[in-house]
Amino acid sequence: MRFKRILLKLSGESLMGEQGYGIDVNRLNDYARQIKEIHDLGVQISIVIGGGNIFRGLSGAGKGFDRVKGDQMGMCATVINSLALSSALGAVGCKSRVLTAIRMEPIGEFYTKWKAIEAMENGEVVICSAGTGNPYFTTDTGSSLRGIEIEADVMLKGTRVDGVYTTDPEKDPTATKFNDITYSEVLSRGLKVMDLTAICMCQDNNLPIYVFNMDIVGNLKKVIEGENIGTLVHK
């Protein structure tokens, strides 16, 4: 097994599936089954999921929302997605626990590093919601922070593309894929892997990022078993 403890970053947008908004139940259930598959291998799993399928604070600010309130709405969106994923995991027989960065009992328990690690060591999937609990930080940064805190071996960034490319492969057919790339090259090329704060945090704390296509069922297990189907970002 390539990794023993992971931070899995999932995109809220991917949860929309073909709908264009909200949560596609089929996509949600696909994710749950893939997560259970690697959980059954003995991998310790912590998850951060975005909220862009419901509300994105930054775009809300562009439409006249106060930025802080917009970001707080985005945090609530991540909690909704986390509860949905937790419910889907329960339906496939995989125990999970939702932790929140802001107090929201009884919806979720207040996050601490030690609570997250204890739950993972007890065989639960930990879902860390509400970002960092602060405005002006994305869920990318939230996942970097949580990955570093829980001492993960890697951050697995599940997206709808199969790695990091020279340009956006959805817009440019000549884009070429990297099998691996350094943090500094990502920054110097201005590649949109994650936001700058998140990349810098991973670089400073030596947390590798593995970017892969989570929307192809079975890919998560392939990554864990060592198949090179994505891009590794490292020192």
User: 186: exposed, middle or buried (C-beta count within 10 Å: 0-12, 13-18, 19+)?
Assistant: buried
**Torsion (CA) 46, 235, 201, 128 in degrees, nearest 10:** -10
pLDDT at residue 179, rounded to an integer: 96
pLDDT at residue 60, rounded to an integer: 65
Q: What pLDDT tens digit does each residue of the chain (235 aa) get?
A: 899 999 999 999 999 988 889 999 999 999 999 999 999 999 999 999 999 999 877 776 677 789 999 999 999 999 999 999 999 999 999 999 999 999 999 999 999 999 999 999 999 999 999 999 999 999 999 999 999 999 999 999 999 899 999 998 889 999 999 999 999 999 999 998 999 999 999 999 999 999 999 999 999 999 999 999 999 999 9
Number of domains comprising the chain: 1
User: What residues make up the domain containing 214?
Assistant: 5-234
Residues contacting 152, CB < 8 A, separation 6+: 5, 6, 7, 46, 207
CATH number at residue 162: 3.40.1160.10
Distance CA 4, CA 153 (A): 7
Distance CA 165, CA 169 (A): 7
User: What residue type is assigned to position 22 of the chain?
Assistant: G
pLDDT at residue 61, rounded to an integer: 67
